[in-house]
Amino acid sequence: MRVLHFAPRVCWPLDTGAKLRNYHLARVLAERADVTLLAFGGNEQPPNNPENPYAKVVTVKRDPGYTAAKIIRGAVGRTPLSLLNYTTAAMKQALAQILSEQDFDVVQVESIHLMGYLPILRAATARPHVICDWHNIESELMQRYSERESNLLRRTYARKTARQLRTLEQKATHDFDGHVVVSQRDRERLLQLDSASSISVIENGVDSAYYSDQEMEKAHAAWLTHPHPDRAAIDGVMPSPSKANRIVFVGSMDYHANIDGVVDFAREIWPQIYERNPELVLTIVGRDPAAEVRQLASLRGIEVTGTVADVRPYYLEAVAAIVPLNVGGGSRLKILEAMAAGVAVVSTTLGAEGLEVQHGVNILIADTNAQLLDAITGVVENEGLRQKLYDAGRALVSNRYDWARAGESLFGIYERLLAARMNEKN
């Protein structure tokens, strides 16, 4: 089987949820199919570790996004800014060329942001099946952002963009041959737009072996043998592997939902936790922290690491992982990773949206500041509760959310599509 993976960006380094999903699904598919990647990127080269799953990689440099002209077009026209940012002449040319050079059975398009290329895909001689992989319901994500944005101009623009995206999503439900979503909830949302659409759930996952006790300890030992500028004492407290004393927040720190969540938590809830447990350190781990996130490092007991090569050492020193999100969509790979790493998770309801988790069994759900404070304090002070969440979280990930299972399911969808076309021909 020949598969073209068409994505808004290359999936290395593996520092966002979208990149992790794209990479691990491609890795599993590559065991049984020939997978080619076409994506926006610079001069990055696929790394040897993790292993490059693609038989061929073609990258196109993206035009500058959020230019004045595009912002105005998004404001006065029908096409949302996100689509304008990812639709370029250079990519149209590259896509047409790769389709002329090789026939594909399936093209998987990562998000509706690439919908502008559908006419080129439909013109391909081989008539590949074209599937959209929905990492989020984009209109919902934008609407939630608009509801929390205090700046009137940005709020108005976000609401307009949400309406544009809803129109685009309606069109997408019948313009693609099939759809893949990350949760049953997202599937139901799309079926409301078009009940006849072919929509399958391929849940997000985690590489369980990567977070095994043995691999965690090896990663931590390697981390300790080299000086790290991010491994510094905070108010005289040095995180120690002998006593877990980190509260970790992991995520891309240039993403508005993460910024909103961690800033609120650090300023409204953390001071009360720190007052009661001054041995704790709030560690904010993630690439490209925004200015308001970097400023949090000036508060007592908080460190902001920026990009790290390996998040596992931080998990090994963590007593809890927090996901205090009030905005967002899709499902949270950060929760699955923390569970696989053996860390108790405290999340808002929205933060855990799309995952089949159970409050009090494998996660603690808390939505108000008081609830978050009580939940985190309970995890910190109750070793039995931590162990219970640790055991149940790892079991959930192993039994349901491993990438191998997700990739096999996706390959099965491809097989059924191809078999249905063969039956039509016969």
Tokens of 294: 């970097």
Same domain, 198 and 242: no
Q: How far is CA 335 from the centre of its chain?
A: 11
Same domain, 241 and 338: yes
CB 110 within 8 A of CB 10: no
CB 102 within 8 A of CB 1: no
CB 164 within 8 A of CB 76: no
Written as one string, the DSSP assignment of 191-220 is HHH-TTS-EEE----B-GGGGSHHHHHHHH
Same domain, 43 and 175: yes
Counting the structural domains of the chain, the total is 2
- Which residues are within 8 A (CB) of 167 and not within 5 positions of it... i.e. 6 or more apart? 78
- Position 256 scores a pLDDT of 86
Same domain, 47 and 133: yes
Same domain, 255 and 165: no
Same domain, 395 and 407: no
Task: Look at the alpha carbons of 357, 342, 336, 399 in this order and tell me if their dihedral is positive or negative.
Answer: negative
- Rounded Cα distance, 254 and 242, in Å: 32
Same domain, 215 and 165: no
0.75 surpassed by pTM: yes
- Any bridge partners for residue 306, and if so which? 285
Question: Per-residue pLDDT for the chain (426 aa), expressed as one digit of tens each?
Answer: 999 999 999 998 888 889 999 999 999 999 999 999 999 998 766 656 568 899 999 999 988 888 899 999 999 999 999 999 999 999 999 999 999 999 999 999 999 999 999 999 999 999 999 999 999 999 998 998 899 888 999 999 999 999 999 999 999 999 999 999 999 999 999 999 999 999 999 999 999 999 999 999 999 998 888 755 555 444 444 445 456 799 999 998 998 889 999 999 999 999 999 999 999 999 999 989 999 999 999 999 999 999 888 999 999 999 999 999 987 654 588 999 999 999 999 999 999 988 999 999 999 999 999 999 999 999 999 999 999 999 999 999 999 999 999 999 999 999 998 988 877 776
Q: What is the CA radius of gyration of the chain?
A: 22
CB 303 within 8 A of CB 326: no
- Position 329 scores a pLDDT of 56
- Rounded Cα distance, 35 and 27, in Å: 9
Give all strands of the β-sheet with 281-285 in edge-to-edge order. 302-306, 281-285, 246-250, 318-323, 345-347, 364-365
Tokens of 53: 């799953």
Tokens of 61: 């440099």
Euclidean distance between the first and final Cα of the chain, in Å? 20
Residue 324's domain comprises 208-400
Same domain, 72 and 218: no
Same domain, 326 and 245: yes
Same domain, 247 and 357: yes
- Rounded Cα distance, 341 and 244, in Å: 13
- Position 241 scores a pLDDT of 46
Dihedral (Cα; 232, 236, 242, 248), 10-degree rounding: -60
Same domain, 122 and 64: yes
The one-character DSSP state at 3 is E
Same domain, 98 and 30: yes
Cβ-count burial 20-51 (b if 16+ within 10 Å, e if not): bbbbbbbbbbbeebbbbbbbbbeeeebeeebe
Residue in the structure block whose two tokens are 């200015």: 291
- Position 66 scores a pLDDT of 85
Question: For residue 151, what is the domain's CATH number?
Answer: 3.40.50.2000
